[in-house]
Amino acid sequence: MAIATNTYLTFTSRRNREDFADAIYQITPEDTPFISMIGRESVESTHPEWSTDTLAAPNPANAVVEGDEFTYGAVTATTRVGNYTQISRKEYIISRTQEKTLKAGPKSELGRQRRKKGVELRKDMESILLTNQASVAGNSTTARLLGGLPSWITTNDSRGASGADGGFSTGTGLTVAATNGDQRALSKALLDAGIASAYTAGGNPSIFMVSPYAKTKFTSFMSDAAVVPLRANASTSKQATLVGAADAYISDFGTIDVVPNRVMGSSAALARNAWLLDPDFLDLGVFDDIQEVKPAKTGDAEKRVLITEYTLKVNNEAAIGVVADIYGLTAST
């Protein structure tokens, strides 16, 4: 991560920036469902900030006498929060001879690597956005880090014993990583409590995003005595279809789509969280979109770098819920 002396930290060699970025985002939307479902917003600094607010509790005693003099309550200021942008990149170098050699499959190795590294970069971004990392302001020797989603949630979080919230600190202007608790099995009771908590706090979660293993545990909820079985008429002229999975959950507070996330299944740290998401309250903040840079040629090879700078905007964490500390990879991990 060393920076050469007098390096000018702006990338000026760019090609087809918008078209290339759009293509990368469209290649594997199923593999990066979080990025695909949330909003997308341009940010103009490395430390974008925004405000959050809450409504006063309903007042059932709101009645005054005729002709009463007005009185004015104190106005509550909004809470100012922010996140830092993070730079992520992928590099590759291909010899001139290899690029010109007749090959099976794609004719251009540069083109093949460009597409492959672009998908890998997008999946890195998905993982980072969902990682329990605190935000870091950074300096000339320390990389800036965005505060991942787990570091924001304090209102609607169900945690195992000994677990603790992280959250945004108004004192430091940084998010704090959550403390992992004792792991437990995902259950219908945990899901129902999470949905109710998010709804009560003002959110309307429509997505339950889980690791592949946790998705199979959700399907097992169908055997719960409180779940109405899914039934379908079988045509006498066609082979019957056995329904062995569930992709949506009709809760007391609306229908929740269940979305498995392959990236979340790539590590125990990501798999331990199951997310109740209201995409309207989440944005990918883009400071610099995915672009290809061509470093100066210094040998008999072609160098390429794919680079982007981005952050996560949690417009109001109270709209999001997490069932944390679950077994997300196996029945015991």
Output the pLDDT for position 72.
87
Judged by DSSP in three states, 167 sits in: strand
Can you tell me the distance from the alpha carbon of 314 to that of 305, in angstroms, rounded to the nearest whole number? 29
Q: State how many domains the chain has.
A: 1
Q: Which domain holds residue 284?
A: 17-51+80-231+243-323
Residue partners of 183: CB distance under 8 A and separation at least 6: 160, 272, 325, 326, 327, 333
* Domain-embedded: residue 58: no
* Domain-embedded: residue 3: no
Output the pLDDT for position 6.
58
- The pTM assigned to this predicted structure is 0.84
* Domain-embedded: residue 72: no
Q: What is the pLDDT of residues 262-297, one digit of tens each?
A: 999 999 999 999 999 999 999 999 999 999 999 998
* Domain-embedded: residue 66: no
pLDDT score of 1 more than 70: no
Can you tell me the distance from the alpha carbon of 312 to that of 83, in angstroms, rounded to the nearest whole number? 7
* Domain-embedded: residue 68: no
Residue partners of 2: CB distance under 8 A and separation at least 6: none
* Domain-embedded: residue 238: no
Can you tell me the distance from the alpha carbon of 225 to that of 41, in angstroms, rounded to the nearest whole number? 44
Percent of the chain with pLDDT over 70: 84
* Domain-embedded: residue 90: yes
Q: What is the pLDDT of residues 125-160, one digit of tens each?
A: 999 999 999 999 999 999 999 999 999 999 999 999
Q: Residue 155's closest CA among 171, 167, 170, 143?
A: 167
Structure tokens at 280: 């309207």
Question: Which CATH number characterizes residue 219's domain?
Answer: 3.90.1690
* Domain-embedded: residue 216: yes
| Residue 164, strand partner residues | 179
Greatest CA span in the chain, whole angstroms? 91
